[in-house]
Amino acid sequence: MRIDILTLFPNMIEPVLNESMMWRAKAYKFVNINVIDYRAYSEDKRKTVDDTPYGGGAGMVLRVEPVIKALRDIDGHEDALKILMTPQGIPFTQTRAKTLSKNKHVIIMCGHYEGYDERIRDYFDVEVSIGDYVLTSGEVAALVVVDAMVRLIPGVLSNASSAEDDSFSNHLLEYPQYTRPRVFEGKAVPDILLSGHHQNIQSWRLEQSESRTKKRRPDLYQKYKESKEK
């Protein structure tokens, strides 16, 4: 998989890509990630990429020219899936992460300032939001999308079942997890996890996931019920 990230702040992105699973995915060539500073595509002396909005208003707006020049300079951009990070986009979910992870080439645009020149939207295929709140810039949001996608690429996680058991993978929150010590300050690991009876353990984990989801995320639990009825 290839991912190109268009950003004004490469230093916000590159350190994260060099740690943990992102480093592993790159080191073992499961993914090729390029960070592109689209300020370099501004043609004025000060390398400005924003301007005041027509019609007045607070803040500055990203200009269309440097963004689209940077986009068009990416090899294979015509066939890539082009994602615009914006609070106005469709909600990012685990299901959407799975779908995106199957693409061979993804380009992600990080916004900044008050917003985009509306014409920028015409050059991207999908607009994505990671939640109903506003960030200073799109770099953090883009990293969320990249991390969620990359860990689903076959081979990135050493244990493939880890991704299958994650919260949201089947509309359920993950079951409780325990490790040593067996007892801590009077709080003991449930006996069933020490029984060695794998079928009973799996049944207990499913019950815990269902109970936890119903209590904490009734909206998600409803989706789980609907999926079982199909």
Give catalytic residue positions: 87, 114, 151, 166
Classify 188 as helix, strand or coil. Answer: strand
Six token digits for residue 75: 């090899």
Place of tokens 């359920």: 172
Backbone angles phi, psi at 65, to 5 degrees: -60, -55
Six token digits for residue 126: 């999908």
Torsional sign, CA 99, 154, 14, 169 = positive
Total residues found in the chain within this entry = 230
Torsional sign, CA 18, 104, 5, 141 = negative
Burial label, 141 (beta-carbon count in 10 A; 0-12, 13-18, 19+): buried
Whether residue 154 has a cis bond before it, omega within 30° of 0: no
> Would you tell me the crossing angle of helices 10-17 and 139-150 to the nearest 10 degrees?
20
